[in-house]
Chain A
Amino acid sequence: MKKVLVVDYGVGNIKSICRALEVAGGQVSLIDDKIQFSKYTHIIMPGVGTASVAMDYLRQRKLDQFILNFANEGYPVLGICLGMQLFSTKSFENGITKCLNLIPGNVQKLKKDIKSPNRLPRIGWFSNQIIEPSETLFSGISVEERFYYSHNYILEPEILDGLIATTGNSLCASIRKNNVVGIQFHPEKSGAPGIKLLSNFLNTNERI
């Protein structure tokens, strides 16, 4: 059984990701205090709220340290939207927030792309360009599938080595550093392909 821990930052809709993970085959628990991480096989950092509010919430409960320990032990960690942005070194959303530094880089506000008629925040079902075709997250998912994005900020990774996919004007759609992987879109809001992606994540080897 895949025992997955979902980190709750105390704000926003957490129900949807929990539900989607159950449908994808996970046994979901919500983290709200220090827990024995050896009981769990996967961790999810969900996508709701803002960086400063989320990091405050994590730090107050020493959950930032917990997540770092979990990641350092080699367990699979998936960050979704804000969750991926919290892997950064720092985020410039609402001032400057020091983040977890699991995937070095900064989170910056999206700049208006003059070539694109789309408005910001970037909201909609968009396509990705797959840079790393061997990435297991996207196994069994057609390269043409669209995923739902809803964001005003983006992770700009320092090292492009683990880049999995881009979207729009070469924005980081997905990036991996060993057992830690992030996606900017919301799989729990992306229909069947999203559930498939979560199922692929849950089927990742339990420890690297």
Chain B
Amino acid sequence: MSSSRNIRVISRLDLKSGYVIKGIQMEGLRRIGDPRDFATKYYNEGIDEILLIDAVASLYNRNLLEKVIEEISSNIYCPITVGGGVRSIEDAKNLFKHGADKIAINSYLFENPILLSQLVSEFGSEAIVLSIEAKKLNDKYYAYFNSGRDDSGIELNSWVEKCLSSSPGQLLLTSVDKDGTRNGYDLDLLNYINDPCISLIASGGIGNLDHVEKTLSFDSVSAIAVGSAFHYEKLEIKSVKDQIRKMDFDVRLM
């Protein structure tokens, strides 16, 4: 029996108008394909979880998103986390109803931080992911929202500490600076952030196996979310998992 750290490999699909889109540093969005095709492909290749992020969060986009969740969840049998534009218990209930297993929340918490503990009370901490977008300014990191477009002005660690008191089950930490670059995850960010003591999902910038290795060398990391590196076939799920296994971590292999 293993007492090594369990690691999950997650596919991140950012969605707009029912398509998977990709940007660089969360800007400049390009359509790259149908989320149902990506999700099915990755499921068959052994992905541990699918992460769907609604990059636009308008009402129109929300209806398309629900359809996408419904279709994906009826064809694949692995966990699906959905985030983007969650503003109420009803929003969350609705996403679960359509097939989400977990919901991620970020932007609206700056307006109404109490919602986080309400979501945890209603659905259980394991169903709620605290999503944080981190961007560097001088030597500090700040919490961003609205898909990396808006600066809350709040220093990262103080925002994280405030949110953790509501007991979300996981922390999805997106590096705004590295997102879409395939240039490596922001390791300075991992050094800077105080260990949240819950599962931390590192998202943004992973482009090769060296990045995987360096990111996982931080004890606080329980999962990596990979976007364009998988979509553009720069990385294969199997090679990532083999790398993780080589590092003596506990990981599901197909």
A125 x B252 contact (CB < 8 A): yes
Interface of A is mostly: mixed
CB A168 to nearest CB in B, in angstroms, measures 9
For A53, what are the chain B residues with a Cβ–Cβ distance below 8 Å? 122
**A139→B19 CA distance, assembly (Å):** 40
The winner among A48, A82, A194 for most chain B CB atoms within 10 A is A48
For B222, what are the chain A residues with a Cβ–Cβ distance below 8 Å? 118-119, 123-124
Q: Is B5 at the interface (CB under 8 A from chain A)?
A: yes
Q: Is A195 at the interface (CB under 8 A from chain B)?
A: yes
For A191, what are the chain B residues with a Cβ–Cβ distance below 8 Å? 43, 77-78
Q: Is A111 at the interface (CB under 8 A from chain B)?
A: no
B101 x A16 contact (CB < 8 A): yes
Given contacts A125-B8, A191-B77, contact A13 B100 (CB under 8 A): yes
CB A181 to nearest CB in B, in angstroms, measures 20
B123 x A15 contact (CB < 8 A): no
B77 x A118 contact (CB < 8 A): no
The winner among A120, A124, A186, A191 for most chain B CB atoms within 10 A is A124
B98 x A152 contact (CB < 8 A): no
A50 x B122 contact (CB < 8 A): yes
Given contacts A117-B219, A123-B170, A125-B48, contact A188 B126 (CB under 8 A): no
Given contacts A12-B127, A53-B122, A123-B199, contact A116 B99 (CB under 8 A): no
**A120→B101 CA distance, assembly (Å):** 17
A118 x B6 contact (CB < 8 A): yes
**A12→B102 CA distance, assembly (Å):** 9
**Which residue from chain A places its CB closest to the CB of B79 in the assembled complex?**
A189
The winner among B3, B6, B96 for most chain A CB atoms within 10 A is B6
CB B201 to nearest CB in A, in angstroms, measures 10
B123 x A16 contact (CB < 8 A): no
Q: Which residues of chain A (15-36) have a CB below 8 Å from chain B?
A: 15-16, 19-20
Q: Is B183 at the interface (CB under 8 A from chain A)?
A: no
Q: Is A98 at the interface (CB under 8 A from chain B)?
A: no
A119 x B197 contact (CB < 8 A): yes
Give a binary string over B1-36; 1 marks a CB under 8 Å from any A CB, 0 the rest: 111111010000000000000000000000000000
- Please list the residues of chain B having a beta carbon within 8 angstroms of any beta carbon in chain A: 1-6, 8, 43, 48, 70, 73-74, 77-79, 93, 96-102, 121-127, 169-170, 197-199, 219, 222, 250, 252
CB A94 to nearest CB in B, in angstroms, measures 7
Binds B, one of A70-78, A99-107, A143-151, A157-165: A143-151
Contact of A189 among B5, B101, B122 (CB under 8 A): B101
CB B152 to nearest CB in A, in angstroms, measures 26
Q: Is A121 at the interface (CB under 8 A from chain B)?
A: yes
**22 A-B pairs (CB sep. < 8 Å):** A11-B123, A12-B96, A13-B97, A13-B100, A14-B97, A15-B99, A20-B77, A93-B124, A115-B3, A119-B222, A123-B8, A123-B169, A124-B48, A125-B6, A127-B1, A129-B1, A150-B102, A150-B126, A150-B127, A186-B79, A189-B101, A191-B78
- Please list the residues of chain A having a beta carbon within 8 angstroms of any beta carbon in chain B: 11-16, 19-20, 48-50, 53, 82, 93-94, 115-121, 123-127, 129, 146, 148, 150-152, 186, 188-192, 194-195
For A94, what are the chain B residues with a Cβ–Cβ distance below 8 Å? 121
**Which residue from chain B places its CB closest to the CB of A115 in the assembled complex?**
B3
A188 x B1 contact (CB < 8 A): no
B126 x A121 contact (CB < 8 A): yes
B77 x A192 contact (CB < 8 A): yes
Given contact pairs A119-B199, A125-B6, A150-B127, enumerate 17 new A-B contacts (beta carbons under 8 Å): A11-B96, A11-B122, A13-B101, A15-B73, A50-B123, A93-B124, A116-B3, A117-B5, A120-B198, A121-B170, A123-B8, A123-B169, A127-B1, A127-B2, A189-B77, A189-B79, A194-B77
For B1, what are the chain A residues with a Cβ–Cβ distance below 8 Å? 127, 129
CB B124 to nearest CB in A, in angstroms, measures 5
B126 x A126 contact (CB < 8 A): no
